[in-house]
Amino acid sequence: MDAAVTYDIELIKAEACQLVKRGLVNRQQPIYVLCKYIPDRDWVYFELELEKNEFLLRDRIIDLLDHEYWGDD
């Protein structure tokens, strides 16, 4: 029996940040592109947590990166 993964908004934000840093997704893409990196069985929980925190799948990934820090350019 597989245990369901619990997604909280901070975990989702951290995962999105890591995917952006690794260059796998672009901060301007819609949030739904993250589904490629979430197991199918967990997507419903991921989506429910986004909805609970008033994020839409069409919102941009940058909306999840609210505390992104920039080094000296």
User: Does residue 17 lie within any of the structural domains?
Assistant: yes
Q: Name the residue range of residue 42's domain.
A: 9-64
User: Does residue 3 lie within any of the structural domains?
Assistant: no
User: Does residue 59 lie within any of the structural domains?
Assistant: yes
Q: How far is CA 41 from CA 17, 25, 33, 38, 73, in A?
A: 22, 21, 16, 8, 40
For the chain, percent of residues with pLDDT exceeding 70: 82
User: Does residue 16 lie within any of the structural domains?
Assistant: yes
Average pLDDT over residues 4-32: 92
User: Does residue 70 lie within any of the structural domains?
Assistant: no
Q: Convert the pLDDT of each residue in 19-41 to its tens digit.
A: 999 999 999 999 999 999 999 99
Rounded to two decimals, what is the model's pTM?
0.79
User: Does residue 71 lie within any of the structural domains?
Assistant: no
Total count of domains within the chain: 1
